[in-house]
Amino acid sequence: MQIIDQIYIDGAFVTPHGDEFFELFDPSTETVIGRVRLADAHDARAAIAAAKRAFPAFSRTGKHERIDMLKRMYEAVAAKEDALFDAIVDEYGAPVSRARWMARHASSVLLDAANVLESYAFERRAGTARVVMQPLGVAGLITPWNSDAGFICGKLAAALAAGCTAVIKPSEMSAMQTRVVTEALHAAGLPPGVFNIVTGRGETVGAEISAHPDVAKLSFTGSTAVGKTILRTAADTLKRVTLELGGKSPMIVLDDANVDEAVLLALDAGFMNSGQACIAGTRILVPQTRLREFEEKITRAVAEFRSGDPRDPRTRIGPMVSRKQWERVQRYIRIGIDEGARLIAGGEGRPEGVNAGWFVRPTIFSDVRNDMTIAREEIFGPVLSIIAYEDTEDAIAIANDTPYGLQAYVCSADAARAEAVASRIEAGRVLVNTLAHEPAAPFGGFKQSGIGREYGTYGLEAFLEPKSLLGVS
Ligand code: NAD
């Protein structure tokens, strides 16, 4: 049993003012494996005050000094990769291959930010003016549970690269990962107050950060509903806001696609992170003429997708993070059945032979219409919908008929044709015949999937404000 009873403010581990304890579960067994003492609004204010004190000196550091800090942070987090991996498997239930990727990602984003900074020009000319990119101030960084360590490090890397100081509010459900990352970042030896980490509830610590007049910038990753609340709260002080929210991403299989390859891509895109991924390709758009073939092949392939013990290397889908999340996914499977979609794999309840843990059967519906609840709402679990389309125009119309616009996938044997379709999709990222990630490219959503971009130069500039100097040389 891990007891986590400290937060990180002003360069030191301190006991929070908040005294509520929150239980941490192993989602594979449903047993309590830890307790975390939560910070409250008082702690959030102390963290914001520390970040505010640190800002004047930190914002004047040179870019090479900050590159050096980011590299030290990278080394420190990379050195904790195994401890982070264990925490991710224990507390989140990610299958080992995914957990290893996540543990590496947490350090690699720090190095990515250092690389962006190397070639970034903070000054440029605009006509007769000199334009200086200036750090915004104290940044509030709020993360979800589905990739806590990666988001802490990624958001912090961009904020610090820009010269902002930060207050981080990680997910309260990810306190073990947060502890490993905090200890690593502390070891990197940054000046006190430059970053502060306060684990607490969203409604208290998150709300305080969103409202506080001394916070200039918010970067939030989480649900669209909470994102809207944050945007409304931030409006009072006109904070700059980056929101990375939910998705209902289409996987468009064009009629010339190799169906065997398309099936594997669709399963990997749909079930990534055990289905708990904002970018999961959850709407599979298949030409009517090839529907039966696609159904047959995906039904056969999904039988290989084991949902079970995340520590078993053969497992592709781990448990849902919490009972609440498990119940939510079950509710959507029931809604799909009730609305008349046809189950071709999986269904309600746990996988066969599994009696404990928040495991879900990998589930695929066919005969889904795009106006059904399961095609419109983000389920955040391993539940996929196959939607048949008539022709390419129809496929594009269905793909874009969603309030979301985070990511899309196009699968085709003809690269030029796939690119033409990709150009018409309303999404922040479109992946053609690949699931590869590109850390230099902007990431973020169209429509209700968010505002702004992370990663690369775009992500760095989200923490900067241009200032024009006129009458100077
Ligand atoms: P969530 O919105 O419930 O919580 C996210 C964070 O916000 C948590 O730290 C939570 O404590 C905090 N929070 C809750 N209420 C708040 C409030 N009123 N004010 C301030 N902060 C508050 O999301 P979640 O359940 O942790 O994560 C799943 C969601 O995140 C999904 O919708 C998923 O699509 C989304 N997500 C998006 C991306 C992306 O990059 N677009 C990536 C991962 C996850």
pLDDT at 219 over 90: yes
Identify the CATH homologous superfamily for domain 2-245+448-469. Answer: Aldehyde Dehydrogenase; Chain A, domain 1 (3.40.605.10)
Sheet order of strands, 195-197 included: 12-14, 7-9, 195-197, 165-169, 138-142, 215-221, 240-244, 450-451
Q: What is the pTM of this model?
A: 0.97
Instruction: Calculate mean pLDDT across residues 119-140.
Output: 98
Contact assessment for residue 168 and residue 195, using Cβ atoms and an 8 Å cutoff: yes
Catalytic residues: 244
Note the pLDDT of residue 399.
Answer: 98
| Each residue's pLDDT tens digit, 352-363 | 989 999 999 999
In angstroms, rounded to a whole number, what is the distance separating the alpha carbons of residues 110 and 131?
27
Mean pLDDT of the chain: 97
pLDDT at 473 over 90: no
233: its two tokens: 């709260």
Q: Where are the alpha helices (DSSP H) in 80-199?
A: 81-87, 96-118, 148-162, 175-187
| Each residue's pLDDT tens digit, 79-90 | 999 999 999 999
Contact assessment for residue 65 and residue 170, using Cβ atoms and an 8 Å cutoff: no
- What single DSSP character describes residue 38? P
Contact assessment for residue 12 and residue 53, using Cβ atoms and an 8 Å cutoff: no
Regarding the beta carbon of 249 and ligand 1, being less than 6 Å apart is answered no
- Of all protein residues, whose CA lies closest to atom 12 belonging to ligand 1? 202
Give the ligand 1 atom nearest the CA of 233.
19
Instruction: Calculate mean pLDDT across residues 365-379.
Output: 98
Instruction: Calculate mean pLDDT across residues 171-198.
Output: 98
In the chain, where does the domain assigned CATH 3.40.605.10 lie?
2-245+448-469
Regarding the beta carbon of 202 and ligand 1, being less than 6 Å apart is answered yes
Q: Who's near 360: CB < 8 A, 6+ residues apart?
A: 275, 307, 317, 319, 320, 326, 329, 330, 346, 350, 351, 381, 382, 383
DSSP string, 382-441: SEEEEEEESSHHHHHHHHH-SS--SEEEEE-S-HHHHHHHHTT--SSEEEES-----TTS
Share above pLDDT 90 across residues of the chain, in percent, rounded to a whole number = 99
Q: Which of 142, 148, 167, 376, when mutated, tests ligand 1's pocket best, judged by the most ligand atoms within 8 Å of its CB?
A: 142
| Each residue's pLDDT tens digit, 276-288 | 999 999 999 999 9
Closest C-alpha to 427, from 442, 448, 444, 406? 406
For 255-278, b/e burial (b = at least 16 CB within 10 A) is bebebeebbbbbbbbbbbbbbbbb
DSSP-derived 3-state class of residue 103: helix
DSSP-derived 3-state class of residue 365: strand
Give the ligand 1 atom nearest the CA of 223.
32
Residue type, 65: E
Q: How many residues does the chain have?
A: 473
pLDDT at 92 over 90: yes
Residue 77 — very low, low, confident or very high, per pLDDT cuts 50/70/90?
Answer: very high
- What single DSSP character describes residue 206? I
In angstroms, rounded to a whole number, what is the distance separating the alpha carbons of residues 376 and 344?
19
Q: What CATH number was assigned to the domain covering residues 250-438?
A: 3.40.309.10
Instruction: Calculate mean pLDDT across residues 386-407.
Output: 98
- What single DSSP character describes residue 61? S
In the chain, where does the domain assigned CATH 3.40.309.10 lie?
250-438
40: its two tokens: 């409250």
Q: Which of 169, 215, 219, 221, when mutated, tests ligand 1's pocket best, judged by the most ligand atoms within 8 Å of its CB?
A: 221
Instruction: Calculate mean pLDDT across residues 129-155.
Output: 97
| Each residue's pLDDT tens digit, 301-324 | 999 999 999 999 999 999 999 999
